[in-house]
């Protein structure tokens, strides 16, 4: 698994666990919904700044977004 694949999997997992739609997550991060969608599909090379925004909005440590499932 690549880091991008791990990140996209965890992003979606944490988003759904929080009960957020892509639109709600985008609002919380001040990002566009289509950006969130393309990140989850692995189409974007996301910046560390946006990774941090997503982690804060989801209430997780940024490292959790990059931690592969055991």
Structural domains present in the chain? 3-61 (1.10.260.40)
Q: 42-60 b/e with 16+ CB inside 10 Å = b?
A: eeeebeeeebebbbebbeb
Instruction: Provide the pLDDT confidence category of residue 70 given band limits of 50, 70 and 90.
Output: low
Instruction: Provide the pLDDT confidence category of residue 1 given band limits of 50, 70 and 90.
Output: confident
pLDDT in tens, 12-59: 999 999 999 999 999 999 999 999 999 999 999 999 999 999 999 999
| pLDDT at residue 60 tops 60 | yes
Using DSSP's 3-state secondary structure scheme, residue 23 falls into helix
Predicted model pTM: 0.93
């Amino acid at each position: 698994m690549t880091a991008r694949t791990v990140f996209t999997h965890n992003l979606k997992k944490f988003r759904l666990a929080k009960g957020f739609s892509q639109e709600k997550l985008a609002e919380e991060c001040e990002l566009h919904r289509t950006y969130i969608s393309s990140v989850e599909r692995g189409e974007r090379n996301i910046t560390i700044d946006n990774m941090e925004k997503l982690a804060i909005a989801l209430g997780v440590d940024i490292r959790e977004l990059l931690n592969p499932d055991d």
